Copies of this chain bind each other. A is one copy, B any other.
Amino acid sequence: MSLKALSQRLGLSQTTISRALNGYPEVSEKTRLRVQEAARELNYRPNPHAKSLATGRTGHVGLILPMEQNLLAEPAFSEFLAGIAQYLHQAHMDLTILPVDYDAELAAYEHLAHSGRVDGIIISSPLLKDERVARLAQSDFPCVVHGRTLCDYPYNFYDIDNKSAFFKATHLLLDLGHERIGLVNGDERLTFALDRHAGYEEALKARHIPYDPLLVHAQSGMREESGFIAVSQMLMQRPRPTAFVVTSIIHALGALRAIRQHGLEPGRDVSLIAHDDGLPYLAADKFDPPLTTTHSPIRTAGYDIAQILHHEIEQKSKAKTLTQRVLEVDLVIRGSTRPRRQ
């Protein structure tokens, strides 16, 4: 059932049908109803390619997936995806995953934008100085970055305040009397990890506690085992660290395992704070002991970013807006943090 067929059946021009269905005002209400009725009846669905060809719009949002990074293996990433999907669903759009080679020539990224496969792009996990982001974000193609880069040109981003989060976490531990505090961080080529590191370091500095590089492990890959190894190693030091800040709930699992394996009791002997992205299958409050966390549901981030991008797309032709949002992160205090035992 094509427009043409429908128009013939109704004895109207294609123009009128098209307008009636797309809500243009220059169609009488009577005709519009008649057309809508018939369209439903005959199960007419406009061909999306024809539509795209004519309008240049696709109704698809693209998410760049650098294959080498294996982002989909990051548990938090699919929560992020879920948030995006959730928004797009209600906006009647689709999500297109664009697997690319991380170091494909820059032209490939630019082409991605202007190929018309998608109306807008979400960039996730940018590197510190991400030339790809630079190019894409500077072009006038709708584009939102999850996280930030170290670049100074204006671009749309959405990030949580990682620095402040880890500052707060470290600060809490210091308040509880801990002085040797281990940091189990993520891949420090990524901005979020650097920010967390900075927050940690700044909190120490504020209390004039010397920064000890031996107390910092930066792992790439969010694995239980990474947490286990990092914490195990640090627990072998003397004086022993009495508290840890770890970068994910998955790391926290490993951390707990390490702590127990050392014959220590988490909470009582060793305090622990984890960043919690809100993974539904690993609830921090259900841990034993319940975990103190810096908490920021990454699903919400996905949802919000999709929304921002959607607006950006709608605005495309109009005045260029700039959306830069940094979310404050909650510190949720539970049983895994206690005063240092003397």
Question: Which residues of A does B touch, CB under 8 Å?
Answer: 43, 45, 47-50, 52-53, 58, 60, 65, 67, 70, 72-75, 77-79, 81-82, 85-86, 88-89, 94-100, 107, 111, 115-117, 221-225, 228, 250, 253, 257, 261, 279-283, 286, 288
Contacts and interface: CB of A to CB of B under 8 A. Distances in A.
Contact of A95 (B67, B88, B99, B224): B99
B65 A73 contact: no
Contacts of A288: 257, 261
Nearest to A99: B89
B85 A99 contact: yes
30 contacts: A43-B107, A47-B53, A47-B115, A47-B116, A48-B116, A49-B58, A53-B53, A70-B280, A72-B85, A73-B79, A73-B280, A73-B281, A74-B281, A77-B78, A78-B81, A81-B97, A85-B99, A89-B99, A89-B100, A94-B96, A94-B117, A95-B96, A95-B97, A96-B97, A222-B281, A223-B281, A223-B282, A224-B281, A224-B282, A250-B281
Contacts of A81: 72, 78, 97
A117 B85 contact: no
A117 B225 contact: no
A322 to B, nearest CB: 28
A278 to B, nearest CB: 10
Contacts of A286: 224-225, 228
B47 A67 contact: no
A67 B94 CA distance: 13
Contacts of A45: 111, 115
In order of increasing CB-CB distance, the 8 nearest A-B pairs are A78-B78, A72-B82, A89-B99, A49-B52, A49-B53, A95-B97, A223-B281, A73-B280
A300 to B, nearest CB: 14
B78 A225 contact: no
A94 B95 contact: no
B116 A223 contact: no
A67 B48 contact: no
B49 A67 contact: no
A296 B225 CA distance: 20
A30 to B, nearest CB: 27
B70 A282 contact: no
B283 A225 contact: yes
Contacts of A73: 78-79, 82, 279-281
A111 B74 CA distance: 33
Query: Could you say which of A43, A50, A95, A97 has the most chain B C-beta atoms within 10 Å of its C-beta?
Result: A97
Contacts of A79: 72-73
Nearest to A65: B85
Nearest to A47: B116
Nearest to A254: B286
A48 B97 CA distance: 16
Contact of A116 (B49, B58, B283): B49
Given A72-B82, A221-B280, 10 more contacts: A45-B115, A49-B52, A72-B79, A72-B81, A73-B281, A75-B281, A94-B99, A95-B97, A96-B97, A224-B281
